[in-house]
Structure formats: C-alpha cells, structure tokens
Amino acid sequence: MSLSKEPVWLTDRLIFLGEIERKNNFENKIPLGRFEINGIKSDDYLLDDSALVYKSSQGLVIITGCSHAGICNIIEYAKKVCHDERIADIIGGFHLLNSNEEKLKNTLTYFSQAKIKKVHACHCTDLKAKIELSRVVTVQEVGVGLVLEYEPEE
C-alpha cells in the first residue's frame, strides 16, 4: 500500500482522486478537530479526504465517503482529473448533515448549474438536504442490496 496526494489511476476507468482541491469559498470552512505534530497544534480540515471516480459512457460516476472536502469541490476536481464535464451519478455522503443555510444554498446553486443526471445521497446527508437537492437534481433511493450498473466508456 502507498499513500498519494495525487490522483491514482487504479484501472483505465477507475480513479482514486487523492487530495481534493478546495477551490470554493463555502465548503470545508470549519475544522473537524485538531492534530498535533512535533508539539505544534493545527486545525484539521481532513486534507486526506478523497473519492473514487468511474468513467462510464454516460459520464463520471463519483463515489464519495463523507465528502469532508466538500461535495462541490469533489465534483470539480473529478471533472478536472478525468477531463470530462458530464456527471452521470454521485453516490455517497455529501457532508450535508445539519449544514448551515449558506452552505446548503450554495450547494443547491452549484448542483442546479452542474447538469448532474442523478445522485444517490446517503450517510451524512440529512432529509432536509435531500429534499432541497431533489428540487434541482434527481435524487435516487439508497439501501442495502442496491446494485447500480454503468456501461464502461468506449
């Protein structure tokens, strides 16, 4: 096993994004804790948060964990790394659990402009966020036993 801040192509269609660029001004503003190295304490913004991307014929399928980097930051970085603007699906947590109004509003604005085909929002995405997201993108149900299939990029 090796650690990487840079994207790693696991196969010709599956990419580990590495450290996500944080470009927007409304996500990842609050540290999730603190860490200490050599006696120096610093805020922890979970710079090691990452995601996977599958390149399908319909566009990118982004697979997140908790999206501590910010779901919009993840989407933008996935598009940059994969050289594809099409988002077929986003599966995982969006870090929208009890989020503040500014973050939710800006996320909704981003999603409404991003032409995302559908999302499978799950953990750390509360009901309020899912309802609001459903106004700008197709939100699909997630549960045990769910199988999703995507055609590979040709």
| Residue ranges making up the domain that contains 24 | 8-139
What pLDDT does residue 154 have?
66
- The four Cα atoms 75, 63, 133, 100 give a dihedral, to 10 degrees, of -70
C-alpha span between 21 and 139 (Å, rounded): 25
DSSP 78-99: HHHHHT---EEEEEE--SBSS-
Q: Answer whether residue 3 is part of any domain.
A: no
Q: What is the mean pLDDT of each run of 10 residues along the chain (154 residues)?
A: 86 96 88 90 85 97 95 97 97 94 96 96 95 97 92 76
Q: Answer whether residue 76 is part of any domain.
A: yes
Domains held by the chain: number: 1
Whether the predicted model's global pTM rises above the 0.85 cut? yes
What pLDDT does residue 11 have?
95
Q: Answer whether residue 82 is part of any domain.
A: yes
Q: Answer whether residue 149 is part of any domain.
A: no
Q: Contact, 7 vs 20, CB < 8 A?
A: no
Q: Answer whether residue 2 is part of any domain.
A: no
Q: Answer whether residue 145 is part of any domain.
A: no
Place of tokens 């590495």: 18
pLDDT in tens, 15-48: 999 999 999 999 988 888 898 999 999 988 877 8
Q: Answer whether residue 115 is part of any domain.
A: yes
**What's the CATH number where 47 sits?**
3.60.15.10
What pLDDT does residue 64 have?
97
